[in-house]
Structure 1
Amino acid sequence: ANEKKFALGSLDADFVIQGFWVIFIFGIVENLKNFSVDQNYIQRFLSAPSEAEARRSLWLGGLLYIPVSALFFLIGTALFVYYLHVPTAGLPEKADQVFPYFIVHELPTGLVGLVIAGVLAAGMSTLDSSLNSSATVWTIDFYKRLLNADADDAKQVRIIRIATAVVGIIATLASLIMINAKTALDVWWKISAIFGGGMLGLFLIAIMLAKLQSIHALIATIIGVVFVAWATVSKVWFSGAAWEFPMHAMMIGVCGTLVIVGIGFVLNLYSQKIQRL
């Protein structure tokens, strides 16, 4: 507690720093995106034997999210306390390397193997879900719908395998580019905030504005994507410029979602007004 490891961060309504309200708002939007449009989640729901089972899975995942996340963060806090009271020469400076260091140097030999096997299994589980969902989206939503509607099962399997390999290579290159990042979690939060805004915004206007025309939904999404692109570029390459996005990078996706929803509502009202004339 003295080291402020249990603090909630700044409670000021300042969206420039990574304080409580930035994390809180980002968390709401991020989890709305995860449980509504993220294919890692959606394809699991679709594989449920019934709608009731899918609904139960959704509730279980939502209710367990906070305690499971708290447990993971507690591991980091416990490691901080341990090495605060047990100074160790050669301790890695990067936070992401402390847990592997602890596993190798502090745990008994047999337990080290079990923990490493568990970590690798969890990593493979996460990676295969991402690769499979990405390859499926490309094959079903793009290739089959736009390029080859008559593709047979064998052809689709080949395309899925190729897509899986391509996505895997891109992910590997991206991980190498970010190897010097301060923490993987911070990087992931920022990337997710940037790329997730458009998807959630489109989903929300589809749910809330049932009569919205497809062209208007497309216009709203394009404007939102352009906004996210501007905010991202201004943060990365034009930091300090007068036209830099004025909030923390984690708010880019939040604002992008609001832009799409706002434009969608305006276009929907305009369309209804035209129809009344």
Structure 2
Amino acid sequence: MKFTHRSYLFVPGDSARKQEKANSTGADAVILDLEDSVAAASKDAARQLTLDWLQTPAVMARFVRVNALSTGRTAEDIAATAPGQPDGYVLPKCESLADIAETAALIAKAGSQAPILIIATETVRAVRQLMRSDWSHPALGGMAWGAEDLAADLGALSNRCDDGTWRASFAMARACAFLAAKDAGVAAIDGPYTALKDTQGLNHEARAAFAEGFDGKLAIHPAQVPIINAAFKPSADQIDYAKRVVDAMAQSGVAALDGQMLDQPHLLQAKRILDLGSRE
């Protein structure tokens, strides 16, 4: 299964108020977080609040981010929330195909078939594994990346250069996660933009990610959702041009349009744009 959502909004698993507010954000998917946003003393309560909200109607897909396998809490996180039938589980600090398989087994043991979205660049070991291994797995629906935990593991003082671009190690991690997702045939999800007040920067980064081929982006504040949703949809001009490409190639494997030679890769790209443009 490949996820098709544009925006994935993190919501603390221990905040009923923020969970209820998520219904009006317009997010394609909400990630109910049992990991970083929940203090150790509140983790058990967060499981129950998350289950309670999963058992009420919602207008978007709902995922549960469990605690990392290394914490020993993953199995209980899944068992406690599986009765709410989440649309997927998010596995942080995923370092290998074996981690995916272990998590899939825990989900199946809990009586669920929910697919998995992994965050695959939060440790140095994970990044090094991304280009070494085939990460394909029947339970995998998407791969995301993030820079904050990786910075901590690297001992980096910052993850971006003064001009806002990623420092070399983080740019490489992002590219590795993107390529591994595409190779596995699952959704490639861009990481969050942490400068909450910089809407222009978020818009630029989200549009660049869409142009590169990413399928969606993580959000850490409700105000980021409409910007991401708009960025991950083709413009009217792009849709119009894609229609012209399809029409021009209807009778032949190659064609010319506006002085440019077209062949099958252009047709595939045009069809993808039309497919994306048809989604709500």
Which structure is larger by alpha-carbon Rg, 1 or 2? 1
State the TM-score, normalized to the length of structure 2.
Answer: 0.25
Q: In proportion to residue count, which structure has more strand?
A: 2
Q: In proportion to residue count, which structure has more helix?
A: 1
